[in-house]
Amino acid sequence: MPDPLEHATGLERQELLAKAAGNEDPFDMKVYKRTSGELSNPTVIPSFYQSRIVGCICQEDSTTINWMWLTKGEPKRCECGYFFKLEDAKPMA
Ligand SMILES: [Zn+2]
């Protein structure tokens, strides 16, 4: 069996490395409550990665989560009209 870490690339490799370091949830797949969500005041998501998936609960009582990819430097508007923005997270201690 080849070591999967040897052959993994990109996000997959980062995830495997994070898991190897004891972080079971490297992508921090939690759902964020929106702030006011305007472009001038987006919901800021800290991330160690250049891009990541975030989930938006578009309606307070919604049972579905709207997942979308966020990339640093590109604030994204969800279908519900709220903005999310990816920013550098502090390095892991
Ligand atoms: Zn939304």
pLDDT tens for each residue of 31-43: 555 566 678 888 8
CA 23 – ligand 1 centroid, Å = 28
Does 72 appear as a known binding residue? no
Per DSSP, the three-state class of 14 is helix
Q: Is 80 flagged in the annotation as binding?
A: yes
The 3-state DSSP class for residue 88 equals strand
Please give the domain boundaries of the chain with CATH numbers for all domains: 1-27 (no CATH), 31-93 (2.60.11.10)
Tell whether residue 46 is among the known ligand binding residues: no
Q: Is the dihedral of CA 8, 17, 32, 61 positive or negative?
A: positive
| Cα(59)–Cα(82) distance, integer angstroms | 11
Per-residue pLDDT of 25-78, as tens digits, reads 555 555 555 566 678 888 888 888 899 888 888 887 878 888 889 999 999 999
Is 10 known as a binding-site position?
no
Beta strand pairing call for 83-88 and 43-47: parallel
Q: How far is the CA of 60 from the centre of ligand 1 (A)?
A: 10
pTM over 0.85, yes/no: no
Separation of 9 CA from ligand 1 center, angstroms?
30
Q: Which of 90, 48, 52, 59 is nearest to 74 (CA)?
A: 52
